[in-house]
Amino acid sequence: MSVLVINLYFPGGFWDFTSDLTYKDTAYTSEALDPHTDNTYFSDPARLQLFHLLSHTDGDGGETLLVDGFYAAFRMLQENPRNVQALTDFPQPWHSSGNEDVSIQPYRHFPVLERDPKSSRLRRVRWNNYDRAAKVDWEYNMATAWYKAARHWNALLKRQDQMQKWLQLEPGTALIFDNWRMLHGRSAFTGKRRMCGGYINNDDFVSRYRLLINGREKTLNELGTPASRLSI
């Protein structure tokens, strides 16, 4: 039974990669990756992300890192509310321009912490240091506040005991997580490591979720209900 269809996000469909720099992207290396979300350069980043380790031979390392971005935002709010405000109020330019035939930017700038316009609840985290573009039109005070908040945020994500969950993926076990909430990374590795995965967009995910949980009749009766009032 097919539950959801893999979407054709860049680099396209169900991807399979090793550390060969096929794409000019840090994922295609053997280096350690700090906590980040994927697709920051898209107007609508993928909601669900899938990882599956196919094989890892002649080496070790490559543990997967997960960080709950919503919990990180909560901790930052406790420690310095102004920094949360800066990451919410100041939209950031994002891009992907590693390959010569690629230059992707969202249709507008988006903040690191996106709130629902109706409920003001945190809706999505968007963070990847490698995807940030230059802030060409920012005033000095705005840039100063943003970078102060970004340093705090980055340090929060690296608190190993409080924020980070490490696990070693194994062939035969897939990991699926919410890319709008969970940041992921990895430790450096040696040897030949082959991964595959894919993305599911938010609309497909929510549609399938509501049909499976509520059934078709209740789902149709709720048509027109604002998304902020639904359970997901």
Helix, strand and coil content of the chain, in percent to the nearest 5, comes to 30, 25, 45
Tell whether 167 and 84 lie within a shared domain: yes
Q: Is the peptide bond before 11 cis (omega within 30 degrees of 0)?
A: yes
Identify whether 1 is part of a domain.
Answer: no
Tell whether 96 and 211 lie within a shared domain: no
Tell whether 224 and 194 lie within a shared domain: no
Identify whether 74 is part of a domain.
Answer: yes
Tell whether 25 and 120 lie within a shared domain: yes
Identify whether 127 is part of a domain.
Answer: yes
Predicted confidence at residue 216, as pLDDT, reads 87
Chunked in runs of 10, what are the mean pLDDT values of the chain (232 residues)? 57 67 62 94 93 92 96 98 98 79 81 93 95 86 96 97 95 95 95 91 89 85 70 57
* Distance separating alpha carbons of residues 169 and 173, to the nearest angstrom: 7
Tell whether 130 and 213 lie within a shared domain: no
Predicted confidence at residue 19, as pLDDT, reads 62
Tell whether 182 and 208 lie within a shared domain: no
Predicted confidence at residue 229, as pLDDT, reads 61
* Distance separating alpha carbons of residues 229 and 232, to the nearest angstrom: 8
Q: What is the pTM of this model?
A: 0.85
Identify whether 105 is part of a domain.
Answer: yes
Cα dihedral sign for 227, 229, 231, 232?
positive
Pick from 123, 129, 127, 113: nearest CA to 81: 113
Identify whether 60 is part of a domain.
Answer: yes
Identify whether 8 is part of a domain.
Answer: no
Tell whether 40 and 142 lie within a shared domain: yes
Tell whether 112 and 224 lie within a shared domain: no
Tell whether 145 and 217 lie within a shared domain: no
> Range of 24's domain?
15-200
Identify whether 5 is part of a domain.
Answer: no
Task: Tell me how many domains the chain contains.
Answer: 2
Predicted confidence at residue 219, as pLDDT, reads 78
CATH of the domain at 193: 3.60.130.10
Identify whether 91 is part of a domain.
Answer: yes
